[in-house]
A and B are shown apart, each in its own frame.
Chain A
Amino acid sequence: MSARRLINFFLYGLLLFFAVLTLVPFAYMVCGALKSKYDFAATLFLPAGDGWLGIGWDRLTLDNFVRLFTELGLPRALHNSILLASVSSILTVLFCAMGGYALAKHQFRGRDAVMGLVLAALIIPGPLLLAPSFQLLYNLNLLDTYTGLLLPGLTPAFGVFLFRQSMLNSVPTELLEAARMDGAGEFRIFFELVLPLVRPMLGAFLMISFMGTWNNFIGPQIILQSPELHPLSVALNNLKGLYGTDYGVIMAGTIVSISPVMCLFLLLQKEFISGLTSGAVKG
């Protein structure tokens, strides 16, 4: 074997090793979700038995999923998560795009001041706002409501900034003027001309905000007290507190919780990766 082939062999081996390390926790989760409480403690992956490949296929069970969806109230949390994440991501993308459009393509008094505010808000770290916004929501009587959970994060400064930058680059002003001459209204221009031009940004940002709300834990943990309002992250953590050692149930719940995001990602994959790195590389 030549030296070059040996190196290649070694590199592929290394990549494969890392890939296996990455995938093992996923496999562990799937196997765990399909096992009874007893088998979970007794075996690492699939229980041994006399079925095909020496695995006790007949010992696998969907009980964990059945329990989650019947007695443990997961459908409620799943419904809440889907509602919260879709509403917030769609509104966030819409408002950020509108804000970015106004700041990029419209002349109005105080524009520079607004832009300055956006830039200032960009550097404020999240933890700083936790206690004050809780106080504010308390005063507004919005604690334990979805409005209180979503409203503060509905137009993140970095979203406005991102859309402004991408509209400066990819929306030609002449095109807007031509559309105006032809008598198109401002909303028509925004929805039919501007938004399609920044489509990759829309996809990437939709994904980012969907994931942000879906995986948000500290927000609902602090703001929502009623269990029937809890999204998956908080509801599943409460289950973990109650059924701490019954890991099969927790693994099944984790699968249910991460599948929607995975599916959305596979749909938006291309746009997401390009949007994620575009800002970083151009700098």
Chain B
Amino acid sequence: MLTDPLFWTAAFNTAQYTLGSLLIQLPVALILALLLNRPGLRGRGLLRLTFFAPSLVGLPFVAMLFAPIFEKRTGLINAGLHHFFPLWDPEFAWMHQYVMSALIIAALWMYAGFNMVYFLAALQNVSKDLLEAAAIDGAGPWQRFRHVTLPDIAPVASFITLLSTIGSFQMFELSFILLNNGPGPENRGLTVMMYLYQTGFITGDLGYASAIGWVLAVTLMSIALLQRWLGRRHEER
């Protein structure tokens, strides 16, 4: 397996997707939660429901919904962007060269609100007294966020990071369905899970599929352990 170029393609794609998802999705989720957490905000319940709604759709159905959205020319993104910014190329090939970006966008739509709910719950537990004390001592909004809010929500943030990492590493449905049951042109949409599926259930090599499963499982467990270790070290400081 370690000399199998297809496996490495899949691993590279999956890592790219995971990193992209984490770096975009979690900040967006946190920003949404911070915006919603403002005291005296009107329509909070409705907004929260709105942001949460996409995560009810379910991965296979998100993939089906986004298939026409990513189409060239007629698709919502290309046609919409071209309408507002004529410089945008309506032939932008979401489903070819930029498959991973497309997957990250679809996942962002689906999961940002889901992660926001966790952040929101964490934000509501942040000590209000401490925030007030900091404000009286002359700390600006950024300082209050950096030194009071952030340390308080760090455990939840690391929990969400772990959940998202594990979920992203196992991504299958989104690319499989979007790319018409295959890895896409030049295997650009091949993920580790899809490779496992293909070798095990299309080619019929269950042994090789098990081996891929093991590599994925060991990777995920190592990430979880690494994260616990980092968390502990952080607490000790």
Select one of B61, B170, B197 contacting A126, CB under 8 A. B170
**Residues 225-283 of A at the B interface (beta carbon under 8 Å):** 233, 236-237, 240-241, 244, 247, 250-251, 253-254, 257-258, 261-262, 265, 269, 273, 276-277, 280-281, 283
Pairwise interchain contact A250-B121, C-beta atoms closer than 8 A: no
B176: which A residues are within 8 A, CB to CB?
A: 217
**Alpha-carbon distance between A126 and B220 when the two chains are bound, in angstroms:** 11
Does B103 have its Cβ within 8 Å of any Cβ on chain A? no
**Residues 177-199 of B at the A interface (beta carbon under 8 Å):** 177, 180-181, 192-193, 196-197
A240-B67, A281-B122, A283-B155 known; A18-B200 Cβ under 8 A: no
Which A-chain residue is minimally distant from B160 (CB atoms)? A280
Pairwise interchain contact B200-A258, C-beta atoms closer than 8 A: no
A14-B35, A127-B193, A214-B58 known; A236-B64 Cβ under 8 A: yes
A211-B56, A273-B117 known; A125-B220 Cβ under 8 A: yes
Pairwise interchain contact A237-B213, C-beta atoms closer than 8 A: no
Q: How many residues of B contact A (CB 8 A)?
A: 63
**Alpha-carbon distance between A123 and B156 when the two chains are bound, in angstroms:** 19
A281: which B residues are within 8 A, CB to CB?
A: 121-122, 125, 156
A222: which B residues are within 8 A, CB to CB?
A: 197, 201
**Alpha-carbon distance between A129 and B35 when the two chains are bound, in angstroms:** 41
**Alpha-carbon distance between A44 and B74 when the two chains are bound, in angstroms:** 7
B217: which A residues are within 8 A, CB to CB?
A: 124-125, 127-128
**Alpha-carbon distance between A215 and B177 when the two chains are bound, in angstroms:** 13
**Alpha-carbon distance between A129 and B125 when the two chains are bound, in angstroms:** 38
Interface code B117-146, partner A: CB below 8 Å = 1, 0 otherwise? 110011001000000000000000000000
Interface hub of B58, B69, B214, B220 (most chain A Cβ within 10 A)? B58
Main secondary structure of the interface of B (DSSP, over half): helix
Does A72 have its Cβ within 8 Å of any Cβ on chain B? no
Main secondary structure of the interface of A (DSSP, over half): helix
A-B contact pairs, 24 of them (CB 8 A): A15-B32, A15-B35, A15-B36, A15-B47, A18-B51, A23-B50, A25-B65, A28-B65, A125-B170, A127-B216, A131-B207, A134-B201, A135-B206, A211-B56, A211-B58, A217-B173, A233-B60, A237-B64, A240-B180, A251-B68, A254-B61, A276-B118, A277-B121, A280-B122
* 15 other A-B residue contacts (CB within 8 Å) besides A280-B156, A280-B160: A125-B166, A126-B170, A130-B200, A131-B213, A132-B210, A215-B58, A215-B61, A237-B60, A237-B64, A240-B67, A240-B177, A254-B65, A261-B56, A269-B49, A280-B159
